[in-house]
């Protein structure tokens, strides 16, 4: 039995099953492949795996379009494999977190197939419909993956609402029977022994399309508290909601320490800092370090004692952080990947590692013909039609496309990076010959061994969990320095966010403080930092 709030000391590892490890040579990762890598994960030191959707799905959006919530997609294996994964992970003290996509289902879910048949069908009201008035769309809302958020179904002479793809009809949470079905599904998995859930776009479930409201509808927190009570409440599970709309105020509700909603949420305020404000993620802008600090400072201080942060740079929707805010050249890739990890791992919250981040995996620079992601492909077509320059569109895709994160995991330097013996569903990044887990395992200075060391440190000192955060250099555009003040210890983190050399650190580190980790092999100078140098000091008060 895990102790209460175990997730506050935990590190969570995210697996994108399609790209993690293929056991049967069909070019697609699978559950047996994951089982074969549990020893690797145990050695890394993680406590839980967030598994992206493995449920039955036509894969219009790589599993985020579910057609059966209590069965496994044959592409990934079967229920016996899943049970084995839960059991074998548990033997290594690793829990399995399932990805619940409850805002929408697949259009091939039996509920939707029934719903389309007639307005009188019991399942019709499981979805969000508006009448056809003279062939006009109900309103001008747009779907995240392009086009209108409404699609017409002639059989019922109505439009259904979808915030994402046409193949992802939104579920109607205002229907209590639908909510009960969802709770049954969650309880089914709780009984199978999972250790928690990640909830896809959960702030968007209480939509009010007539008011053009998607996130934070009036009923949202009532629904979430009901779901909590009827499913995971009091069961010591970890729960994390994906909430693009979260502010520190709403996050205090979502992650209320009274346990009424979730353990924590993913918020994206920092992630949105390098795009042109008010525009789309494809409209690139440079990141300003002081702006990043402002956002991190706000989340670190406002949630202190009142909520809980999740700490992440990466996931399956985001570009690789070393290519984004670090530097993926041969010269600086390793130091900058470690520097970025250091900034995050000193903070309060639960860190998430997205597969390959612990190796310093980079963006992929895929040709458009090799891209597979629905969001990227739809945007490409849409922007070219609008007359955008093809080179500009490709620059955006290389910087932000979701396939960057989805190229297969780089296990070793054999063909296809040891990911598959077949033809991989998405091209392997060519750099697997020198960026791979096998080499990094034995290289004491690898990014992988740095992550292992950071995880060990977090387990060793309570200050990582409890220390109070203070930004030490809020106006410095090059150095990120903060401290965490605990009862016994003070942790100080100092990072050069640039490739410049001899960058002065305008704070003094007491002589008695001990350097507990750094991304350069030799001692260096605590007053002048080398490119991307990062240092963590610990003091006893």
Catalytic residues: 200, 242
Nearer to ligand TEU, 328 or 403 (CB): 403
CB of 158 vs ligand TEU, minimal distance in Å: 23
By CB under 6 A, residue 471 contacts ligand TEU: no
Pairing of strands 238-242, 196-199: parallel
CB of 313 vs ligand TEU, minimal distance in Å: 14
The half-sphere exposure of 122 on its side-chain side, counting CA atoms within 13 A, is 6
By CB under 6 A, residue 164 contacts ligand TEU: yes
Angle between helices 390-400 and 374-385 (to 10 degrees): 160
Contacting residues for 480 by C-beta, under 8 A, at least 6 apart: 289, 292, 293, 343, 473, 493, 494, 495, 497
The site for ligand TEU, by CB under 6 A, has a size of: 14
Nearer to ligand TEU, 269 or 302 (CB): 269
H/E run at residue 339 = helix 333-345
CA distance between the termini of the chain: 34
By CB under 6 A, residue 432 contacts ligand TEU: no
Interface with ligand TEU (CB under 6 A), residue from 41, 149, 182, 201:
201
By CB under 6 A, residue 144 contacts ligand TEU: yes
By CB under 6 A, residue 496 contacts ligand TEU: no
- The label of the residue with tokens 């099953």 reads 17
CB of 91 vs ligand TEU, minimal distance in Å: 29
Nearer to ligand TEU, 66 or 538 (CB): 66
Q: Residues 271-290 vs ligand TEU: string with x where CB under 6 A?
A: ----------x---------
By CB under 6 A, residue 440 contacts ligand TEU: no
CB-CB contact of 54 with 17 (8 Å): yes
How would you label 495-531 residue by residue, b for 16+ Cβ within 10 Å and e otherwise? bbbbbeeebebeeebeeebeebbbbbeeeeebeebbb
Which pair of structure tokens corresponds to residue 186?
């969650």
By CB under 6 A, residue 200 contacts ligand TEU: yes
3 state SS for 147-173: CECEEEEHHHCEEEECCCCCCCCEECC
CB-CB contact of 57 with 48 (8 Å): no
Q: Residues 307-336 vs ligand TEU: string with x where CB under 6 A?
A: ---------xx-------------------
Nearer to ligand TEU, 240 or 495 (CB): 240
Phi, psi of 168 (to 5 degrees): -125, 70
By CB under 6 A, residue 244 contacts ligand TEU: yes
Nearer to ligand TEU, 64 or 352 (CB): 64
CB of 64 vs ligand TEU, minimal distance in Å: 3
CB of 144 vs ligand TEU, minimal distance in Å: 5
By CB under 6 A, residue 61 contacts ligand TEU: yes
By CB under 6 A, residue 19 contacts ligand TEU: no
Mapping DSSP to helix (H, G, I), strand (E, B) and coil, where does residue 95 land?
strand
Nearer to ligand TEU, 379 or 454 (CB): 379
Nearer to ligand TEU, 280 or 370 (CB): 280
Interface with ligand TEU (CB under 6 A), residue from 328, 334, 375, 471:
375
CB-CB contact of 69 with 58 (8 Å): no
| DSSP assigned state of 492 | E
- Kindly list the residues in this chain that would bind ligand TEU in the complex (CB under 6 A): 61, 64, 101, 144, 164, 200-201, 242, 244, 281, 316-317, 375, 402
């Amino acid at each position: 039995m895990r102790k209460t709030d175990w997730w506050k000391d935990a590190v969570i590892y995210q697996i994108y099953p399609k790209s993690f490890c293929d056991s049967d040579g069909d070019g697609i990762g699978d559950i047996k492949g994951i089982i074969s890598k549990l020893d690797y994960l145990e050695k890394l030191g993680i406590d839980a795996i967030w598994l992206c959707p493995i449920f039955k799905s036509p894969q219009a959006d790589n599993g985020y379009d579910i057609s059966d919530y209590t069965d496994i997609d044959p592409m990934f294996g079967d229920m016996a494999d899943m049970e084995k994964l839960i059991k074998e992970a548990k033997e290594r003290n690793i829990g399995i977190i399932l990805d619940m996509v409850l805002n929408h289902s697949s259009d091939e879910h039996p509920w939707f197939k029934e719903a389309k048949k007639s307005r009188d069908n019991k399942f019709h009201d499981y979805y969000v419909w508006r009448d056809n008035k003279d062939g006009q769309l109900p309103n001008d809302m747009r779907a995240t993956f392009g086009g209108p958020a409404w699609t017409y179904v002639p059989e019922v002479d109505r439009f259904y609402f979808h915030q994402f793809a046409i193949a992802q009809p939104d579920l109607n949470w205002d229907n209590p029977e639908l909510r009960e079905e969802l709770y049954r599904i969650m309880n089914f998995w709780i009984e199978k022994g999972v250790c928690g859930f990640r909830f896809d776009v959960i702030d968007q479930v209480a939509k009010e399309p007539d008011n053009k409201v998607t996130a934070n509808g009036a009923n949202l927190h009532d629904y979430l508290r009901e779901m909590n009570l009827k499913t995971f409440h009091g069961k010591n599970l970890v729960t994390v909601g994906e909430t693009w709309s979260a502010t520190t105020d709403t996050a205090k509700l979502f992650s209320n320490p009274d346990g009424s909603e979730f353990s924590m949420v993913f918020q994206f305020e920092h992630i949105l800092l390098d795009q042109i404000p008010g525009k789309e993620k494809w409209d690139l802008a440079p990141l300003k370090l002081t702006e990043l600090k402002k956002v991190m400072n706000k989340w670190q201080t406002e949630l202190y004692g009142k909520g809980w942060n999740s700490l992440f740079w990466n996931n399956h929707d985001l570009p690789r952080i070393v290519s984004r805010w670090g530097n993926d050249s041969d010269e600086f890739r390793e130091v900058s990947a470690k520097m970025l990890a250091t900034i995050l791992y000193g903070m309060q919250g639960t860190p998430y590692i997205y597969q390959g981040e612990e190796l310093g995996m980079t963006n992929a620079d895929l040709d458009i013909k090799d891209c597979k992601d629905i969001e990227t492909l739809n945007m490409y077509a849409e922007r070219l039609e609008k007359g955008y320059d093809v080179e500009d569109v490709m620059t955006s895709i290389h910087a932000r496309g979701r396939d960057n994160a989805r190229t297969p995991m780089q296990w070793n330097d054999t063909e296809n990076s040891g990911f598959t013996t077949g033809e991989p569903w998405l091209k392997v990044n060519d750099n697997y010959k020198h960026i791979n887990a096998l080499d990094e395992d034995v290289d004491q200075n690898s990014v992988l061994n740095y992550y292992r060391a950071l995880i060990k440190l977090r387990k060793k000192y309570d200050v990582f969990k409890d220390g109070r955060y203070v930004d030490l250099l809020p106006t410095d555009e090059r150095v990120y320095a903060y401290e965490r003040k605990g009862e016994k210890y003070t942790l100080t983190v100092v990072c050069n966010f640039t490739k410049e050399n001899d960058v002065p650190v305008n704070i003094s580190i007491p002589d008695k403080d001990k350097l507990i980790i750094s991304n350069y092999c030799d001692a260096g100078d605590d007053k002048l930092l080398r490119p991307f140098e990062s240092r963590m000091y610990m003091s006893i008060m």
